[in-house]
Amino acid sequence: MRQILVKVFWGLTLLLIVLLLPLGAVCAQGGAETGFFESYELQPGSRIEVPLTIRNVQDLYAIDVEIQFDPALLSVEDANPAQTGVQPALGTFLDAGLTLFNEVDNQTGTVKFAMSQVNPSEPKSGEGVVLVLYFTALAEGESDLTVSFVELSDRLGEAIPVTAVDSSVSVFAGAEEKAATPIPVGDPAQIIVVPTLMPTPTSVQAEGGVAVDETVDSGNEDTALGAADVPDASQQEDAPEAEGQEAESFSLLRYWWVVLIVVLAAVGMAVYLLKSKNSTKRGDKPNL
């Protein structure tokens, strides 16, 4: 009887382990966290390094994150003077790669960062620092550090579930100054900046009812289409004929099976007529 109970016990234990394994895998997959995992205190005029950290992630390859802070209380120092604008420092968790956004707006208190590793970089798992923000305290008060948007993805572009973690920075005269060890950062020279798209040309109605292409760009009024971009009259006259030829070739390529059927039918008819002619010469009736 005791042996039977032992076997039943171990059988139920094994069954429970098998049932809980998929649940554990799902929990582990959804356990990634990104944000600020401690609060900070500093005196007005002092400087502090604040890391954006990621934890419990699996196979991370790309990240898109937006951070908000109070610009009346804090300002972010530029980590890369060689680049135009103000940038945060790249942490050491991800390898430097293709970067679409890496900018700080100290007027609105916004940090935008979107980057993907490139081959031969391998996906990253575990915990590490993604960005480092160099904050300078401007005035007394408490500023939230809010991860307002975050998306993670693996090497195939599949989304990785993630939870944003917010924190705060308190600025007051009595804050204790702590000797902090500088946080290691990546080499900004290895960051590959992806150029943003040019302004989209728009069609506006000019005087006389003629549509004119115009590029909308508030920063440069000389970016409208120049004479070199406008085709001359001869090119415009030849355009319909060229379009017709292109459409014709496209149709033939698209309906190649119709052409094949017609050719096969013509060959079959030619063979039939040839056999009929030979049968007539021999005095036989053609096979209909």
* pLDDT value of position 189: 86
The boundaries of the domain holding residue 134 are 30-193
Q: 69 and 144 in one domain? A: yes
Before 120, cis peptide (omega within 30)?
yes
* pLDDT value of position 233: 42
* pLDDT value of position 283: 59
* pLDDT value of position 177: 82
* pLDDT value of position 279: 63
Gap between the Cα atoms of 16 and 32, Å rounded: 26
Q: 65 and 177 in one domain? A: yes
* pLDDT value of position 196: 61
The residue whose two tokens read 């300002």 is: 75
Check: pTM over 0.75? Answer yes or no: no
What total of structural domains would you count in the chain? 3
Q: Is residue 288 classed as helix, strand or coil in its secondary structure?
A: coil
* pLDDT value of position 231: 40
Q: Is residue 193 classed as helix, strand or coil in its secondary structure?
A: strand
* pLDDT value of position 179: 75
Q: 261 and 150 in one domain? A: no
Cα torsion angle, 74, 75, 79, 85, sign: positive
* pLDDT value of position 50: 97
Decide: residue 150, CB within 10 A, 0-12 exposed, 13-18 middle, 19+ buried.
buried
Q: Looking at the domain assignment, is residue 68 inside a domain? A: yes
Q: 250 and 133 in one domain? A: no
Q: Looking at the domain assignment, is residue 75 inside a domain? A: yes
- Average confidence (pLDDT) per 10 residues, the chain, 288 residues: 44 38 42 96 95 97 98 97 92 94 96 96 97 97 98 96 97 87 90 67 40 41 35 44 44 52 68 67 53
